[in-house]
Amino acid sequence: MSKKRLLIADSSERFHAMISEGDHAKNYDIHFVKTGPEVLQEVEKFKPDLIVLDLLLPKMHAIEIMNSLEKTTPILVTSFEVMVQNYHAALDHGAIDYIIKPFSADYFFEKISDYFKGSHTPSKFEPRHSIPTESGNVYNPTPLFSSSYMKFWGTRGSTPVSGPEFMRYGGNTSCLEVTDGSDLVIIDAGSGIRPLGDYLDLSKHQELNIFISHTHLDHVSSFPFFDPLYREGITINIYTPVSFEKTTKELFTELLAYSFFPIRLDEMRATVNFLDLREGDRVSVGDIHVDCCYTYHPGPTLGFKITTPHAKIGYVTDNEMFIGYHDKPTNLSLDDALLEPHLELIEFLQGCDIIVHEAQYFPREYEQKIGWGHSSISNASALFRFVDCDRWFVTHHDPKHTDITLQIKFELHRQILQENGIELELRAARDGLIVPFQ
Ligand SMILES: [Zn+2]
Ligand SMILES: [Zn+2]
C-alpha cells in the first residue's frame, strides 16, 4: 500500500526536524514548505492526502490559504496561538483540527493516524492556564518607589495656562519638590505648589522649607493656596532673596490683603517665618543643602544648587544668558566679555549631576525679547559649553508655547546641541515628572 502524502507548511526549521526525526515519519511521504504561496504551488504538484498548516505562515496565513483552495484536501492547522477566536476561525473554515504547539511528534502522528483510520475528532479547545515552573516561583515584583528624587510640580513660566493644547507639559507655574528620605525642600510657590500642598503627608513634615528664587508672580502666586498654611502645628519657613523694594513679609502681606485674598497672612493657622537669602548663602534642611547664586533677571533672583546625599541639582528657572547675543554658541569663548556677568553662575553650577535651566525662547523670538530676563535656546545651550554637566532638564516653558510648539522647540534644541558639539542628555520637564536619584 502506498504511503499517505503529507504536505507540511511551517516556517520553523525546528518543527521540520522534530517531525522528520523518529520512526513515525517513515510511514508517510512528507513534503515540507515554509510559506503560504509555496503551499498553493505544492498542492498542485504533490497532491497531498493531508495538508498541515501553521496558522501564521509567512506571506499568507492559513485562513487565507484555506479560502484559496478548493476544499478537496483535508487541512489540519497547528499554532502557538492559544486564543479561542483563532481556534474557531480554523474550524469554521473547514480545518479538521486545530492543535496547539508545542506538541510531540508522537502526539502529532497519533492525530494523523487517527484521521486516516477515520477515528479522528477535533481537539477540544482548552484555554491556556499558567505554566508551572520547576521552582514554583511566580515573578510578580511590586514597585519600589525611590525615596530620593525630585518632582516637578510646575514647569510653566510667567503665567499658568490650561487647555487641551497644554496637556503634555502641563500648565502650572514653577514649583519643584526635592526629597531625600524624610528631608524635603520646596523650590518656588507658583501654581504647582497647590497640588503639592494637597499631596504632602504633614504627619511626616511639620516644618516645611520653601525657597523662592524671586518674587515674580509665577513663583509666588499660589502660595495662598498651599494647604499646609491652614494647618495648626505646621511651621513654614520661606526663604527669599533680599528684595530691592520691600521685605518679603511686606510683599506677602500685600499678596494676602483682603482685596486680593479673603484670608490674611496673620490669620493663617501655620506659623510662617520669612528668612533672607543672599548670594553665597547655604541653608541646610536635614541632609539637603541649598546654595544660592544670582542669575541674570530683573530684580534680585537666585539660582539654587540643591545637594542631597544622592544628587547635586542646579536649578535656574529665570536667567538670560549672554544678553543680546544671536550668534552660534561655538563662537563664544571663555574670555568673551559677554561671559563676564555669568562667570559666578558657571562656577556655581560646576559638578552638578543635573541642571534644571530654562531655554524659554526660539532664537527668532529672542530677537524681540532682549532684556526680558530669559534665554534663547541657543544662548542657554552655550552655557553648557562652559559648565561640566551632562543632564539638562529644560523648564519654565513659555505660556504661548503649546505642546506642539514645545515639541518643535525641543527638536530644534537637540539640533542646536548637536550642531555645536554639546553632548548631554536633554529632557523636557513637565508637570508631574519625577526624577529618581537612586
Ligand atoms: Zn519665572
Ligand atoms: Zn521672573
Q: How far is the CA of 297 from the centre of ligand 1 (A)?
A: 9
Q: Is the dihedral of CA 378, 379, 382, 384 positive or negative?
A: negative
Q: Residue 138: what pLDDT?
A: 85
Which residue carries 477540544 as its cell?
Answer: 124
Ligand 2 centroid–CA 267 distance in Å is 28
Note the pLDDT of residue 130.
76
Burial bucket for residue 427 (CB in 10 Å: 0-12, 13-18, 19+): middle
Closest C-alpha to 354, from 303, 392, 395 = 392
Q: Which amino acid is at 191?
A: S
**Ligand 1 centroid from CA 152, angstroms:** 14
In angstroms, the CA 140 to CA 130 distance is 13
All residue ranges of the chain with pLDDT < 50 are none
- DSSP secondary structure letters along 340-367: GGGHHHHHHHTT-SEEEEE--B-HHHHT
Which DSSP letter does residue 257 get?
S
Helix (H) / strand (E) element for 315: namely: strand 312-316
| Alpha carbon of 216 to ligand 2 centroid (Å) | 5
Domains of the chain: 4-117 (3.40.50.2300), 148-436 (3.60.15.10)
Residue 417: half-sphere exposure toward Cβ, Cα within 13 Å: 20
* Residues 152/430, Cβ–Cβ less than 8 Å: yes
Beta-bridge partners for 290:
283, 306
Q: Give residue 411's pLDDT.
A: 98
Peptide bond into 102 cis (omega under 30): yes
CB count in 10 Å sphere of residue 108: 21
Predicted confidence at residue 286, as pLDDT, reads 97
Task: Give the Å distance between the CA of 330 and the centre of ligand 2.
Answer: 28
**Residue 67 CA, ligand 2 centroid: distance in Å:** 69
Q: 367-406: string of b/e by CB count within 10 Å (b at 16+)?
A: eeeeebbbbbbbbbbbbbbbbebebbbbbbbbbebbbeeb
Cell numbers placing 54: 501553521
What's the pLDDT score for residue 62?
A: 97
Helices and strands counted in the chain (H then E): 12, 19
Question: What is the reported pLDDT for 299?
Answer: 93
Cα 217 to ligand 2 centroid, rounded to whole Å: 8
